[in-house]
Chains A and B, each alone.
Chain A
């Protein structure tokens, strides 16, 4: 790892975020209250203080900790390194970082055409529902990783051109390119894929999943 990559990594490893600290504090407070009421003096269960404290712990503080943790987890799981924590992704991420790679994803990563969260950006659909769908799919992937999955790993369907178009469509040089303007309807309706033999190169090496 060169000094620039190290500086980026150390900046990214800034420890827990502010929200994560809140989750940690709330979780610890809940545990302390529960233990204090239940373990040390069980007679407190029937006292008004114990009832109200447990009521707040169960119905307010714990759900708040869970929901905030969910949002922290969802945000942190967008990072490329999180995707790379599953062995089956090593080949894909190694290729992203390979200076000699000419695959499309690698070019986007190394030239920072996508500034951060590159895996997530290209594998989530447009808008809030796209993000939610991508995150639900991500949880499904993590579950499959531990319970078993089929190889080679493949997309569930065809790649959605809209993901490419959300960045490329507003670019004038893209719009003026003959192949794009001639096939605009097919590209927009997903009948013609951006990725293919006659158009753009593969995003990842075909057998990247084998490098585990």
Chain B
């Protein structure tokens, strides 16, 4: 995974997106309003989905590099 600098950037991007998504979830838990509900379900869900997709690309790239795929 360390061969490509873009992979580290991709992992960091996925991590940041996932942290933001998780923060929207925590916000909805501690202050449940229609706005925080929408934020956690739609924006949080979209960011988390994007983070997972980015990490899938990273995992596939890593597995290919190691000759597993």
Q: Give the residue name and chain of the B residue nearest to A141 (CB).
A: B34
Interface bin, chain A: 35 or more
A66 contacts B45, CB within 8 Å? Answer: yes
CB contact between B44 and one of A28, A66, A72 (< 8 Å): that residue: A66
Contacts A46-B2, A82-B32 given; indicate if A58 touches B18 (C-beta within 8 A): yes
User: Could you tell me the distance between the alpha carbons of A93 and B54 in the complex, rounded to whole angstroms?
Assistant: 45
- How many B residues touch A, CB cutoff 8 Å? 34
Contacts A24-B26, A24-B29, A146-B35 given; indicate if A70 touches B41 (C-beta within 8 A): yes
User: Could you tell me the distance between the alpha carbons of A3 and B18 in the complex, rounded to whole angstroms?
Assistant: 45
> Majority SS of interface residues in chain A?
helix
Contacts of A57 in B (CB 8 A): 18
Contacts of A45 in B (CB 8 A): 1-2, 8, 11
Separation in Å of the A10 CB from the closest CB of chain B?
Answer: 17
B52 contacts A69, CB within 8 Å? Answer: no
Contacts A24-B26, A31-B19, A38-B15 given; indicate if A142 touches B2 (C-beta within 8 A): no
Q: Which of B4-18 contact A (CB under 8 A)?
A: 8, 11-12, 14-16, 18
Interface flags for A34-52 (1: CB within 8 Å of B; 0: not) read 1101100011011000010
A58 contacts B32, CB within 8 Å? Answer: no
Instruction: Answer yes or no: A12 CB below 8 A from chain B CBs.
Output: no
Interface centre among A16, A34, A139, A146 (most CB of B within 10 A): A34
17 contacts between A and B (CB under 8 A): A24-B26, A31-B22, A34-B15, A38-B16, A45-B2, A51-B1, A59-B52, A62-B51, A62-B52, A66-B44, A69-B25, A69-B40, A73-B28, A85-B33, A139-B41, A142-B38, A146-B38
